[in-house]
């Protein structure tokens, strides 16, 4: 057993080290007391070493590693405290379907809008020609339509979905928040606006997706089934649909890459990015910072026993 | 020493002079001897299939052609006795026409393109009907292409090609290009305008100027030129509107099935849209579009085809484009301003102001 032989000298060294440390600490105590402490420490250390040895599989080691990191993080930012589940799995899944489809749609669609751009040739060649590229574009379109349907069904049927939808409806407070935020940026107002579950920025993003989906899916379906469209509408309707599809695509792409990415990934608080889209969690610190009203609401609910069944909202 | 040098010079001079004086007259057969027989107006041969081969040739046969100063045997060099016993071979033009020739023929290798062309490869495959140089350029009356009387002049080329491509010639003759060429309009394309001269390839050959993905480029050599198109009252923007349309973009990315100019306007039978026979006449548009879009109906003709969203004449399309233009500019300006204000605010706070 070469493994054990290798371990032996290591273990001896460890024991000597423990001996020395404990000896130093217990120098002032009675010998019997010191012996008792030493015995206990040795047993604890040996147990720890033994446990370490048992962690053999990679999965175990990874799990252990994760636990250690978590502990370290807690030590470092103990003020962060609890992690709140901001987005449930269903919502995150919708978002992932949407952004995958949007990425596919952008990289297959933009070369058609900008055929002379240097990268366009390669983006089309990536799929093996324009015909495959248009096919992939339709696959992306189906994903986006699925997302839209899924989200509408989720909004109607899910309790969380209904609640979020109501919270996402713009209110006069959002306008006041926006003005106050700009004043805050300019240093005219020391107080940051206090946001609820969704800030005006997030509400804008949400409704921009609605607007974008309606325009893009609507005009896209017209263009996809051009023969059927032309059965009922004159040709200039198709031209309008083409123009809308092309222009709204550019607006959506710019808004996502510049605005959305800055607000969620590239701003100095989050740079180089956040994984909230994956785990859906938000730290207590961020919660207090970004959504103070929601945080207070949660805390108020928790303090009431009858509201205990809806925690972590 | 000097005497020997002059003697040598004299000898060389005499030698050169003698060659010049004696050789053509003696070593070759003179024109008069050929016209003894070929100068008779009735000199012809009736072939087995009933066709008549006219063998009449006189001193005037070459008059006005580029070979005016040549004699019969310069080209028919396999005739070494008179009367010749067998039929002379077909004339081989490359005997003189190559780069570096000493006969005074143009110093060009253009003829090499012929061997790779659809005609040259057909010949190499053993197609007896494939044209040789003289089938297009003529045999005795070969003239420069710029000469209006030449068989390969812009005006005459359709007829020359039509000797073999008779159906295409019939289509072309009544097309807008064919009519314009017969009227003598210098800008109008004859066959060679689109297909090339020696480098003619089949339309399925990617080298061809009329390969599906090259058609738009080929048409746009004239149709994108405002100076040419303005003479005939045709809009030059048709090229850019096509290039910006999905058809144009897909064609640019190498799609061979997507519509190019010829798919809608026709190939040899291009006619102005007002012509009821035109493929793009509103009456015929359903059938034309229906080639690719099954079930095309008269709705296809409602609205301009080559539509430019940046022009006010496009109506609702123009206003849609304008709406989105200002929406995009406005939204993005607001969003970017918000981002910069955010960064400005962060910087202030970092500085502790």
pLDDT level of residue A58 (50, 70, 90 thresholds) = low
Whether residue A239 and residue B307 make contact (CB cut-off 8 A), yes or no, is yes
Question: Which chain B residues are within 8 Å of A120, Cβ to Cβ?
Answer: 253
Report, in angstroms and rounded to the nearest whole number, the Rg of chain A calculated over CA atoms.
Answer: 29
Helix boundaries (H) for chain B: 2-27, 31-38, 72-75, 111-116, 118-124, 133-137, 157-162, 166-174, 176-182, 191-195, 215-223, 226-232, 238-244, 246-252, 261-265, 285-290, 316-351
Give the three-state DSSP class for B195: helix
A258 interaction partners in chain B (CB closer than 8 Å): 332, 335-336, 339
Q: What is the pLDDT of residue B353?
A: 64
- Residue among B252, B291, B292, B353 with most chain A CBs within 10 A, to mutate: B252
d(CA A45, CA A15) in angstroms, rounded, equals 8
Distance between alpha carbon A208 and the CA centroid of its chain, in Å? 19
Residue A57: the pLDDT is 64
User: Tell me, what's the pLDDT at B6?
Assistant: 63
Place of tokens 């059965």: A231
Are A255 and B297 a contacting pair at CB < 8 A? no
Hey, is the C-beta of B112 within 8 angstroms of any chain A C-beta?
no
At residue A311, does pLDDT exceed 50?
no
- 3 state SS of A85: strand
| Cα three-residue angle A20-A67-A290, rounded to 5 degrees | 125
Residue A282, helix vs strand vs coil = strand
CA atoms within 13 A on the CB side of B271: 17
Give the whole-angstrom CA distance, residue A232 versus residue A239. Answer: 14
CB-closest option in B252, B299, B328 to A251: B328
Closest to B326 in 3D by CA, of A265, A251, A30: A251
What residues of B are in contact with residue A254 (Cβ under 8 Å)?
Answer: 328, 332
Question: Which residues from A are below 8 Å from B343, CB to CB?
Answer: 268
Whether the per-residue pLDDT at A10 is higher than 80: the answer is no
Partner A contacted by B124 (CB < 8 A) = no
**Cα distance between residue B27 and residue B24, in whole Å:** 6
Report the C-alpha gap between B301 and B279 in whole angstroms: 12
Provide the pLDDT for residue B288.
92
List the structure tokens of A194. 């206090």
Distance, CA of A108 to CA of A137 (rounded, Å):
6
Predicted local distance difference test score (pLDDT) of residue A136: 97
- Per the CB < 8 Å rule, is B316 touching A268? no
Long-range CB contacts (within 8 A, 24+) of B271-279: B271/B174, B271/B175, B271/B176, B272/B176, B275/B176
- Predicted confidence band of residue A262 (pLDDT cuts 50, 70, 90): very high
B244 compared with A105, residue with greater pLDDT: A105
CA distance A25 to A36: 13
- Distance (Å) from the alpha carbon of B88 to chain A's nearest alpha carbon: 55
Per-residue model confidence (pLDDT) at position A306? 54
Task: Give CA separation, B283 vs B26, B276, B300, B310, in Å.
Answer: 73, 7, 10, 28
Q: What is the pLDDT of residue B20?
A: 46
In terms of pLDDT, which residue wins out, A182 or A47?
A: A182
Mean pLDDT, chain A, rounded, equals 86
Identify the residue among B216, B304, B333, B342 best suited for mutation to test binding to A, counting A beta carbons within 10 A and taking the highest: B342
**Residues in chain B where the model's pLDDT stays below 50:** 18-27
Please indicate whether, in this complex, the C-beta atoms of B327 and A262 are within 8 angstroms of each other.
no
For position B11, what pLDDT does the model report?
A: 57
Instruction: Place A1 in a pLDDT band, splitting at 50, 70 and 90.
Output: very low
Instruction: Tell if the CB–CB gap between B303 and A233 is shorter than 8 Å.
Output: no
Task: Please write down the long-range contacts of A287-296, taking CB distance under 8 Å and 24 or more positions apart.
Answer: A287/A84, A290/A195, A290/A199, A291/A195, A291/A196, A291/A197, A291/A199, A292/A194, A292/A195, A293/A194, A293/A195, A293/A196, A293/A197, A294/A195, A294/A196, A294/A197
| pTM score | 0.75
3-state helix, strand and coil shares in percent for chain A, rounded to the nearest 5: 80, 0, 20
| pLDDT at site A15 | 74
State the maximum Cα–Cα separation within chain B, in Å, rounded to a whole number.
115
Q: How many CB atoms lie within 10 A of CB A196?
A: 19
Which pLDDT value is given to residue A184?
93
- Residues of chain A with Cβ-Cβ distance to B294 below 8 Å are 227
- Could you tell me which chain B residue has the CA closest to the CA of A208? B331
- The residues, ordered by sequence, that sit 6+ positions from B94 with a Cβ below 8 Å of its Cβ are B111
- How would you classify residue B131: left for phi > 0, otherwise alpha for psi between -120 and 50, otherwise beta? beta
Query: Which pLDDT band, with edges at 50, 70 and 90, does A91 fall under?
Result: very high
pLDDT at B53: 80
Q: Give contacts of B286 with chain A, Cβ < 8 Å.
A: none
> Looking at the predicted complex, does its ipTM rise above 0.90?
no
Q: What pLDDT score does A76 carry?
A: 64
CA distance A112 to chain B (A): 6
The pairs formed by A263-268 with CB atoms below 8 angstroms and a separation of 24 or more are A263/A201, A263/A205, A267/B342, A267/B346, A268/B343, A268/B346
Do you find a cis peptide bond into B83, omega within 30 degrees of 0? yes
- Write out chain B residues lying below 8 Å of A111, CB-based: 249, 253
Residues B37-59: b if buried by 16+ CB within 10 A, e if exposed: eebeeeeeeeeeeeeeeeeebee
B298 touches chain A (CB under 8 A): no
């Amino acid at each position: 057993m070469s493994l054990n032989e290798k371990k032996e000298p290591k273990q001896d060294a460890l024991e000597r080290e423990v001996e020395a440390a404990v000896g130093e600490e217990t120098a002032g105590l009675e010998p019997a007391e010191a012996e008792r402490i030493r015995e206990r420490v040795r047993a604890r250390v040996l147990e720890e070493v033994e446990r370490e040895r048992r962690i053999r599989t990679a999965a175990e080691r990874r799990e252990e590693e994760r636990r250690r990191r978590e502990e370290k993080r807690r030590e470092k930012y103990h003020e962060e405290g609890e992690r709140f589940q901001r987005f449930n799995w269903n919502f995150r899944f919708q978002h992932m379907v949407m952004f995958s489809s949007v990425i596919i749609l952008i990289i297959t669609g933009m070369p058609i809008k900008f055929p002379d751009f240097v990268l366009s040739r390669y983006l089309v060649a990536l799929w093996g020609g324009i015909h495959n590229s248009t096919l992939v574009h339709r696959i992306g379109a189906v994903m986006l339509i699925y997302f839209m349907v899924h989200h509408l069904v989720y909004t109607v049927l899910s309790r969380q979905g209904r609640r979020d939808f109501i919270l996402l409806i713009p209110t006069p407070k959002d306008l006041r928040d926006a003005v106050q935020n700009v004043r805050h940026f300019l240093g005219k107002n020391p107080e940051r606006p206090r946001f609820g579950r969704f800030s005006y920025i997030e509400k804008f993003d949400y409704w921009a997706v609605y607007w974008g989906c309606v325009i893009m899916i609507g005009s896209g379906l017209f263009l996809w089934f051009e023969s059927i469209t032309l059965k009922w509408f004159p040709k200039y309707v198709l031209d309008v649909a083409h123009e809308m599809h092309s222009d709204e695509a550019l607006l959506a792409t710019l808004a996502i890459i510049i605005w959305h990415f800055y607000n969620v990934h590239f701003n100095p608080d989050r740079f180089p990015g956040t994984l909230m889209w994956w785990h859906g969690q938000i730290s207590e610190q961020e919660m207090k910072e970004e959504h103070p009203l929601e945080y207070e609401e949660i805390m108020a609910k928790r303090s009431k026993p009858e509201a205990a069944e809806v925690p972590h909202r | 020493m000097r005497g020997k040098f002059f003697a040598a010079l004299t000898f060389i001079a005499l030698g050169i002079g003698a060659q010049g004086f004696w050789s053509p007259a003696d070593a070759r057969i003179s024109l008069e001897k050929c016209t003894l027989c070929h100068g008779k107006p009735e000199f012809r041969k009736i072939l087995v299939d009933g066709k008549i081969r006219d063998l009449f040739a006189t001193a005037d046969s070459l008059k006005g052609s580029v070979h005016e100063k040549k004699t019969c045997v310069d080209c028919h060099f396999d005739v070494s006795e008179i009367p010749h016993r067998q039929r002379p071979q077909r004339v081989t033009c490359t005997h003189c026409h190559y780069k570096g020739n000493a006969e005074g023929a143009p110093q060009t290798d253009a003829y090499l393109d012929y061997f790779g062309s659809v005609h040259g490869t057909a010949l190499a495959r053993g197609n007896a009907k494939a044209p040789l140089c003289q089938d297009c350029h003529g045999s005795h009356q070969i003239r420069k292409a710029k000469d209006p009387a030449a068989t390969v002049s812009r005006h005459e080329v359709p007829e020359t090609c039509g000797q073999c491509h008779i159906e295409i010639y019939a289509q072309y003759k009544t097309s807008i290009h064919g009519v314009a060429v017969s009227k003598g309009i210098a800008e109008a394309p004859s066959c060679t305008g689109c297909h090339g001269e020696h480098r003619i390839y089949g339309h399925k050959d990617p080298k061809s100027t009329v390969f599906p993905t090259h058609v738009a480029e080929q048409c746009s050599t004239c149709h994108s030129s405002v100076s040419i198109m303005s003479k005939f009252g045709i809009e030059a923007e048709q090229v850019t509107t096509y290039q910006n349309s999905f058809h144009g973009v897909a064609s640019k990315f190498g799609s061979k099935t997507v519509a190019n100019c010829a798919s809608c306007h026709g190939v040899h039978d291009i006619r102005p849209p007002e012509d009821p026979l035109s493929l793009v006449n509103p009456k015929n548009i359903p059938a034309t579009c229906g080639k690719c879009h099954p079930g095309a109906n008269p709705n296809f003709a409602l609205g301009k085809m080559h539509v430019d969203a940046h022009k006010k004449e496009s109506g609702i399309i123009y206003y849609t484009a304008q709406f989105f233009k200002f929406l995009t500019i406005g939204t993005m300006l607001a969003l970017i301003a918000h981002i910069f204000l955010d960064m400005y605010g962060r910087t202030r706070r970092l500085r502790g102001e």
